[in-house]
Amino acid sequence: MPRRHDPERRQRIIDAAIRVVGSKGIAGLSHRTAAAEADVPLGSTTYHFRTLDELLVAALRQTNEGFAKVIASCGGLDDPRTDLAAELAGWIGQWLSGDRTGVELEYELYLAALRRPALRPVAAEWAEDVAEQLSRRTDPVTARALVAVVDGICLQVLLTGVPYDEAYAREVLGRVLAGAEG
């Protein structure tokens, strides 16, 4: 039987893995569950992703794009007159008010790096990319501090169920920026 050409298969497997993690958590992801969700033979998942960690890395890399898309769509980093704390607080609000399942999934994959060392470089890429974008408006150390504060605020909202408080976020981010200036 001739091999069927299917250039989209790898991407379908990644998308399927993300759906599986979204519905069953990381513990529910296996090559078998990803193959079933993607409607491909089991051998396809192991062909494209030799290990489960390779599949998780691809899924994390794809989900990392969520917050970066919010930043890119808003554009406020280019104007030095823009209040960076207010801009960041608004981005967090926009991100958290979007697809909540997607945000939770991003953090689930991001935090999986605690137990899966293969994911750590991808998790670090996200933080470095956002810090690099923020460095257009502030120094690199402050940019990394802002990323840490954004992470903390988002995790608190996701884990406690407390509604996002944009004024609080703006105040905290403003204090970090003021400390950098002072």
Give the whole-angstrom CA distance, residue 156 versus residue 143: 20
CA distances from 2 to 5, 42 (A): 9, 18
Q: pLDDT of the chain along its 182 residues, tens only?
A: 445 667 799 999 999 999 999 899 899 999 999 999 999 999 999 999 999 999 999 998 888 776 667 777 776 777 888 899 999 999 899 888 877 777 888 888 888 889 999 989 988 888 898 898 889 889 999 999 999 999 999 999 999 989 999 999 999 999 999 987 76
CA distances from 72 to 51, 105, 135, 169 (A): 32, 20, 14, 20
pTM of the model: 0.81
| In a domain? residue 165 | yes
- Statement to judge: residues 85 and 147 lie in one domain: yes
In terms of residue numbers, what domain contains 116?
A: 64-181
Here the CATH number for the domain that contains residue 149 is 1.10.357.10
Collapsing DSSP states into helix, strand and coil, what is residue 30? coil
Give the whole-angstrom CA distance, residue 164 versus residue 82: 22
- Statement to judge: residues 134 and 52 lie in one domain: no
| In a domain? residue 137 | yes
State the total domains in the chain: 2
